[in-house]
Structure formats: C-alpha cells, structure tokens
Amino acid sequence: MRPRLTIAFCSIMLFILSGCGDKAELTEFGFVQAVAVDLTDKGTIALTTHFYNPTGGGETNVAVKQGQRGLNIRTEGDTTFEAVRDIPIHLGRKAKWDHMRIILIGEAIARSQSLGEVLDYFSRDHEPRATVLVLLTKGSAAGYLHVAPFIEYTIGQQLREIEDSGSRYSAKTTKIPLLDLAIQLRSEAGVAALPYVYSQNAEKKILSVAGIALLKDGKLSGNILTPSNTQYWLMLTDRYKSGVIEFPCGDDTKKNGKESLEVMSLKTIVKPVILNDTLEIRVRTKIKGSVSELQCSSLDTKEETDRFEDHIKKTVERGMRNMIAVLQKRQLDALGIGDQIYRKNPQLWRRWKPDWGERFAQSRFVIELEVNVLNTGMTVGNPFSK
C-alpha cells in the first residue's frame, strides 16, 4: 500500500512542480548597467543603454581591457517601451534590467517633459529596482556613457560609486533612488531634487557628480544648486552625512587664511509654526565634529574653544540663510515645509496651496545652531606652525 501511495504522490508532483524547460538561458539576455534618456530633434525619446560585456576583458590584462567591459546600444521611439523593445534588433539579446545601476536624464528632456512621464516605464516594469539611482546630466546624457571608467568595470558602476561616495563623504551631492524621486514628484509642494553630473573638460574624460538640480512639477527650469550651496541644502533637509565646513580665520592678522571642521554628525529639525495666518519656520541644527585644519586659532582654553565654535555657527548660519534666500527668490519649497503643513493641517493646506510659492517666499526663518568640537585631531589645539 505504501509503495503505491509513494508512486502516486511522485506522479502528482511531476505535474505540479515546475521544471526548467521554460526558463531562459543567460546567453539570451544583455545585462543593463546604465541607461541614458534624451530627447531627439524630432521630439521622440532616444535611449542609450549601457550593457555589461562579459568578454570585454580578462583577469590577465584587466588594466587594458577594463574600459571594454561596457557597450552602448542606441534606440529611438515615441515611448520608452518602444525604444526598449528595439534593443534586440541591434544587440541580438533581450535587455535585462535587474542589475541596472543608474538612470541618466538629459537636460533637454528634463526641461520639456515631466520626469514622471519619462520614468514611468522604469517604475512600472517588474525588472528595474526601486533602488536604482537617478541623475540629471549637463547637456545630453548619452555622451556620459561613452566615458571610460577609472576603476570600476563599467561607467554605470563608476557613476554610482561616485554618487554614493560623494554623498557620504563630501556633502556636495546626495543619493536619490527611483522610489525617493517618485515620492518627491508626488509631494504637495511639487518640488523634487536630483544629483547633477557634468564633465570637467570638453572631451568628457573626467566626470563629476556635484550640485543639485531642482525640479518644479517634474520639470527642470534652470534651478541648479552649486556644490557650495548644496551642502547647506543637505543641512536644512537633514540629509547631511559627513563633510567639511570651511570658514575664514577669525583673527584679522591672517585675512586670507581658512580653517576647517570635519563634521562627524549633523541633525536638523525643521518645524513650521503658524502665527495669525503667517508662517514662521524654525530650524534647529546640532553639529558635532573634529578640527581638520588650524591656521590662526588656538584651542588651549575653554574660552578659545567657545569663540571657535561661535565662529563656526556664524559661518553655517550665513550659508543656510543664503541657501534659503535662493529658494525663496525662486519660490521653490525644496525643504518639504508644505508637506509638513499638509500632514498636520490638511484644511489649512488646501487654502494655502494655490499661492504656496509666494507664501513660502515671504515666510520668516528662525535658525538655532549648536556646534560641539569633540577633539583637535592627533595634535594639540594650535596651528602646526606655532
């Protein structure tokens, strides 16, 4: 009886369990590392897809072959999906999007079309991951995929590492995954931010990811924050991870000298306060760091340390207010104030939303800073020359 039950059970499993006969082989796919989305002169979408080339180099000669690990395929279409489905007629393989590292958006298409429309395919399809990073390029995006990487095997991975390291250590850019961008595009204020990538020379041999592109209602309208302004935007939005604060010498004897503080931790709380139908925005920031460079200050006593910290406070507050002035002049709420008001008081927000840009521009900011110098590094609190 038992052998019969075993045979019957195994027979049923043959029909229920799936086999590998309907699975595709690895050789049927081209694995996408990056994609660049541009606008053609005809108004159609130009898609430059960067694939990983597994035969582009070997272990015996990696330094020479490394730049050949990637290859580019350009397709066009009225929609992104049409351009995607045309890839096999050039590559001979179906594009596989699971391992895509970055999406580059050209400047022209970002100015003429909403990014929500441009990126709809990548958020709707099941293969692209929500963690893929999105960047906006200066000029056409396709050219950036033809640059040879410095260290990584493909330029897609190289740009991802630049963005990741830049946001983690320099505080002059930030990481914006596809999911975060989708949330920003649906925010009440309608303002989104993207890292900005550009070339340092005409040949596009050296690429930099620094600065932030601000979009209103999904479109770019010339709002590019400089790297110096970006670090204060990161502070105001509590995205600051680690970086360096530079400030001029407080001592008049060395007018051109500058000192620096390595930021170990930074925490910002932004709170909108409604007072008689007027808006006051209170910003409180706590900074902890260690001295990186000293040229004119001494930190031998508590009084000298207090003066040093107060000097840093003034520098940071001045930078924050300059950043706020830029946003208020352009009437861009890139700080998420509108979303906070919407969550706390939806009825008030419905009344304020139609003229929110003007109201944000007229709002008053109150900034409170706290700076703590944790240590002076490997040496005492005096300049190296003293």
Taking the model in full, what pTM does it have? 0.86
Cα 242 versus chain centre, distance: 15
Question: What is the mean predicted confidence (pLDDT) over 48-58?
Answer: 78
Among 193, 336, 338, smallest CA distance to 269 is for 336
What integer pLDDT is reported at residue 277 of this predicted model? 85
Answer whether residue 11 shows pLDDT above 90.
no
| Residues 341/280/330/228 CA torsion (nearest 10 deg) | -100
- Do 253 and 336 touch, CB atoms closer than 8 A? no
Whole-number Å distance between alpha carbons of 94 and 91: 8
Could you tell me the domains of the chain?
A: 27-225 (no CATH), 228-386 (3.30.300.210)
pLDDT in tens, 57-98: 544 444 444 446 789 999 999 999 999 999 999 988 888 999
What integer pLDDT is reported at residue 63 of this predicted model? 46
pLDDT in tens, 247-285: 888 755 556 788 899 999 999 999 999 988 899 999 999
Question: What is the mean predicted confidence (pLDDT) over 228-232?
Answer: 95
| DSSP result, 218-243 | TEEEEEEE-HHHHHHHHHHTT---SE
Whole-number Å distance between alpha carbons of 326 and 317: 14
Highest mean pLDDT among 55-64, 124-133, 298-307: 124-133
What integer pLDDT is reported at residue 141 of this predicted model? 94
pLDDT in tens, 318-332: 999 999 999 999 999
Instruction: Find the helix packing angle between 227-236 and 302-330, rounded to 10°.
Output: 100
